[in-house]
Copies of this chain bind each other. A is one copy, B any other.
């Protein structure tokens, strides 16, 4: 691993986005979101994706500087056509508007169509959580998941994020795919020559498959098969139901592309759809009382006796929060490979590259 400061990482990433045509403010916002993923240890959604974004922007699939078109608006709601814009900065801006609506009216919702990958859903939910609100964010994604009893992919990993703050730095922040695992996990098994367990995926006949290499090939060429929804063989109908719910709130609510029609962003504009919501805590209770109870709940969960062989009991977002706090002191850790791609991309575009450290800052 190499380490660079969060500020340097953001500056580098923003510089790259700016050089390929993203306006300065959007470039900075997008960089903030990507680097946050790395800072939280969610490496699959951070700077490891820089080339995919840059290639998408260069190819014109992700459009810099386009303004989203407002399709419908009320004091509590907003529906946007992103017109193929940058999913990251666009989503941050949309959540700011949702939060402003919630501040004025108690509640704000927004559905967006024709967008592109927005990074980690939890980023947006937490924006609301920092403002004494409950925050929710969802997105549909390219179809990889197979409905229960079917044999072809009809929905994406369709993540759901839900965040609310307790007292001080206490935070509950759920950010979960509605499939059992993501394609990335299957790719790791394929690289390692491992077989995959039942409950992860089905082959072209719709039955459990253990062969990740064949599965990935079948998925790539759309021959059928794909990931099983959360719950796998036993309760997969539940994950399937949640994935459809996400598609309804994101795509049906915005008039966007849904189900098997959501394409992969490496070939064309993703045209994915998002959903955001904020609910002010004081709709329900005095926010301090709400937060005190949340802190009590989180404290109880943290101090549970762990199962035999386990070290600690976590709750959603705790590990990520601890990783982010470490980054403030130690810098953002990046794999050598990600750093190499990032530095090369920057140099090609004439963006100054800082010198990374081989060790965490302050050690």
Contacts and interface: CB of A to CB of B under 8 A. Distances in A.
Given A230-B230, A308-B207, A245 B174 contact: yes
Contacts of A177: 238
A150 B207 contact: no
Interface string A66-85: 00000110101101000000
A197 B234 contact: yes
Interface stretch (A45-53, A210-218, A299-307): A299-307
Contact of A259 (B149, B235, B258, B297): B297
Interface residues of A, number: 81
Given A231-B231, A297-B259, A308-B205, A148 B241 contact: no
A245 B253 CA distance: 23
A252 B79 CA distance: 30
B111 A307 contact: no
A288 to B, nearest CB: 12
Contact of A253 (B79, B285, B310, B314): B285
Contact of A180 (B235, B241, B289, B311): B235
Interface string A192-206: 000001011010011
A305 B301 CA distance: 44
Contacts of A310: 149-150, 206
Interface string A252-288: 1111001110000000000000000001000111000
B245 A162 contact: yes
Contact of A284 (B72, B241, B258): B72
Nearest to A290: B252
A172 B244 contact: yes
A260 B240 CA distance: 29
Interface stretch (A18-26, A34-42, A101-109, A335-343): A101-109
Given A174-B244, A242-B174, A245-B162, A307 B231 contact: no
A306 B314 CA distance: 39
Contacts of A235: 180-181, 230-232
Contact of A306 (B149, B247, B313, B316): B149
Contacts of A74: 106, 283
Given A230-B238, A241-B176, A285 B248 contact: no
Nearest to A282: B72
A223 interface: no
Contact of A154 (B244, B300, B307): B300
A309 interface: yes
A258 B180 contact: no
